[in-house]
């Protein structure tokens, strides 16, 4: 039986992906810092749950190594755990930056370091890193988040080029605003900002509507099955990405227009 580890699996994108993987016959271990929610998701869908803080490199390595040892293989590593941090850059402290880098970037690095050597040794496996459309576009008002997501995109594409020689596949997921609890818990454990307090309404204004998380899970697993390097959804996100690639200066100007409409800028 194929096996998968999904970090951030207690809610949102991770939960939806884990459920769909299980439906497709994959043995899934979800990992999350939220033990209560994680155990409930595991019970609901017949998954294994492990409490995990992805900022702890040793704990990530121990979990991945155990799953591989107990199940004999590691087919998928979904480095999905992340936090949303937003606000005007002048409002943000080093705590905002440090926490975002620790979870959104170092958390992915820890997952890659744990899974990649195992997959290279066995000659197969697929690493799937969750970034964001903010990792492809100029996304102001959330610079720590934007910076880490750009880094995850670069890390993933470079690793994909290197890992192919060992039979290991790498994809990076870049969703637009998706209907997940992430938008309701922006700046977790950090000083609040006006943008963070209104993250969901700001996302709706920016995109028109929030993309259903189950639809995104289908997009992700379809992209994984096709071994796509970049999995960008929804369609409006793909269109914005194409425009930004062709006319990067115009993309920056459009992003700037949104800033100028904000009160108290």
d(CA 217, CA 80): 12
d(CA 141, CA 195): 8
Structure tokens at 238: 């793909």
Residues ≥6 apart with Cβ < 8 Å to 157: 170, 172, 229, 230
Residues ≥6 apart with Cβ < 8 Å to 137: 240, 241, 244, 251, 255
* Catalytic residue flag (residue 145): yes
d(CA 14, CA 89): 28
Residues ≥6 apart with Cβ < 8 Å to 224: 76, 126, 128, 171, 231
Neighbours of 30 (CB within 10 A): 32
Q: What is the largest CA-CA distance in the chain?
A: 57
Strands 48-51 and 3-7, bridge-based pairing: unpaired
Residues ≥6 apart with Cβ < 8 Å to 3: 26, 27, 28, 29, 67, 68, 71, 73, 74, 75, 76
d(CA 56, CA 208): 37
End-to-end, the C-alpha distance of the chain in Å comes to 54
Q: Which residues are catalytic?
A: 145
């Amino acid at each position: 039986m194929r096996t998968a580890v999904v970090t951030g699996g207690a809610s949102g994108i991770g939960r939806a992906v884990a459920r769909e993987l299980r439906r497709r016959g994959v043995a899934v271990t979800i990992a999350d810092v939220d033990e209560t929610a994680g155990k409930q998701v595991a019970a609901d869908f017949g998954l294994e749950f492990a409490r995990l803080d992805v900022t702890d490199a040793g704990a990530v390595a121990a979990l991945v190594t155990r799953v591989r040892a107990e199940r004999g293989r590691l087919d998928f590593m979904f480095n999905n755990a992340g936090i949303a941090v937003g606000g005007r850059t002048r409002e943000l402290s080093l705590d905002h930056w440090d926490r975002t880098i620790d979870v959104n970037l170092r958390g992915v690095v820890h997952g890659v370091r744990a899974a990649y050597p195992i997959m290279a040794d066995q000659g197969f496996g697929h690493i799937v890193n969750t970034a964001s459309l903010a990792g492809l576009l100029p996304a102001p008002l959330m610079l720590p988040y934007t910076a880490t997501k750009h880094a995850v995109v670069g890390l993933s594409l470079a690793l994909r080029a290197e890992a192919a020689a060992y039979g290991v596949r790498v994809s990076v997921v870049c969703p637009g605003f998706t209907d997940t609890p992430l938008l309701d818990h922006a700046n977790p454990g950090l000083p609040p900002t006006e943008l963070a307090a209104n993250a969901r309404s700001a996302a709706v204004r920016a995109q028109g509507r929030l993309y259903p998380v189950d639809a995104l899970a289908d997009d992700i697993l379809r992209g994984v099955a096709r071994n796509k390097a970049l999995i960008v959804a929804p369609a409006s996100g793909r269109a914005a990405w194409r425009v930004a690639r062709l006319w990067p200066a115009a993309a920056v100007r459009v992003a700037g227009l949104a800033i100028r409409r904000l009160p108290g800028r």
